[in-house]
Amino acid sequence: MAAFGMQTNTGNYLPIVKFDARAGRFFRVDKENGETTQTDITDPNMKFAIDFGSINVGWVQFTPQGPVKVMVPYDGTPIPPQPQDKGADGKLLYRPGFYAIIAGQALGGIREWCSNAAILLNALDELFNYYADQPEAAAGKIPLISIISTVPVTSGSGTQKSTNYKPVFKITGWVDRLPDMGERTVPPPAPKAPQVAAPVAAAQSPPPVGAGAPPPPGMPFVSCWQ
């Protein structure tokens, strides 16, 4: 359902995928006869399309019934205030998150991707920055991407020390948006002004997004909550 222009759904209307940042693995999640199964589909050669025309950002908490989202399309709409619900430990239950539609043969068709893992959110934000600068994006196409590797990121110290794995995304091609992905809620980015071509000797394929380089300035998703 929707309330005050925000998506506040519980449960899933499409099958889902998830990226486990603690293990650096990508999973397809299926439900059948009340049973939930997870299939590891981690493969640097696996390609899937991510529909940035469906990207929503805001706040999400995960419950046994599924994600509860308080989100808006990433089209300039102000991010709603963070819900103040707290858990037994006194910490806020809702965290910054995203929601998008993805599709691919290895995924078994069209699926939902929703997460509030900060390390994934940052990696996807970098991918979006690169995507938004491409002429194919301005033409309304959607990128085919692969998770070609992961980068370990350690935080905390002592007993609080932990390591998560940041996915390294690479755009491998472009496809037309599938009608089954539903109505586009985020318009394509504005076309960029043409630039003078670089010398042939300097023309190289761009490096994978997020491959250890510092994040670009003004990262759109992250800046939403700052």
* Separation CA 118–CA 183 (nearest Å): 27
Q: Are 73 and 51 in contact (CB under 8 A)?
A: no
What are the backbone angles phi and psi of residue 202, rounded to the nearest 5°? -95, -5
User: pLDDT tens-digit profile of 92-123?
Assistant: 999 999 999 999 999 999 999 999 999 999 99
Nearest partner of 37 among 23, 46, 27, judged by Cα: 27
Give whole-number Cα distances, 16 to 13, 36, 45, 76, 145, in Å: 9, 11, 20, 26, 17
Which residue range(s) make up the domain with 42?
A: 2-223
Q: What is the mean pLDDT of residues 63-89?
A: 92
pLDDT over 90 at 89, yes or no: yes
Is beta strand 16-20 parallel, antiparallel or unpaired with respect to 109-115? parallel
> pLDDT category, 195, cuts 50, 70, 90?
low
Q: What is the predicted pLDDT for the residue at 217?
A: 39
Q: Are 117 and 23 in contact (CB under 8 A)?
A: no
Q: What is the mean pLDDT of residues 12-19?
A: 85
Q: Between vectors from CA 118 to CA 113 and to CA 120, what angle results, nearest 5°?
A: 45
Q: What is the predicted pLDDT for the residue at 215?
A: 39
> pLDDT category, 34, cuts 50, 70, 90?
confident
Q: What is the predicted pLDDT for the residue at 159?
A: 81
Count of domains in the chain?
Answer: 1
DSSP 122: H
Q: What is the predicted pLDDT for the residue at 66?
A: 86
> pLDDT category, 199, cuts 50, 70, 90?
low
**Chain mean pLDDT for the chain:** 84
Three-state DSSP state, 24: coil
- Beta-ladder partners of 60: 69, 95
Q: What is the predicted pLDDT for the residue at 77?
A: 92
> pLDDT category, 226, cuts 50, 70, 90?
very low
Token pair, residue 53, equals 């025309």
The count of other CB atoms within 10 Å of the CB of residue 209 is: 23
Q: What is the predicted pLDDT for the residue at 9?
A: 54
Which residue's structure tokens are 């670009």?
216
pLDDT over 70 at 6, yes or no: no
Q: What is the predicted pLDDT for the residue at 97?
A: 95
Token pair, residue 65, equals 């019934």
pLDDT over 50 at 213, yes or no: no
Q: What is the mean pLDDT of residues 148-157?
A: 92
Which residue's structure tokens are 């102000």?
78
Give whole-number Cα distances, 14 to 11, 115, 167, in Å: 9, 15, 23
Q: Which carries the bigger pLDDT value, residue 191 or residue 157?
A: 191
DSSP 50: E
Q: Are 184 and 177 in contact (CB under 8 A)?
A: yes
CA 130 to chain centroid, in Å, comes to 13
Q: What is the predicted pLDDT for the residue at 160?
A: 83
Percent of the chain exceeding pLDDT 70 equals 80
> pLDDT category, 221, cuts 50, 70, 90?
low
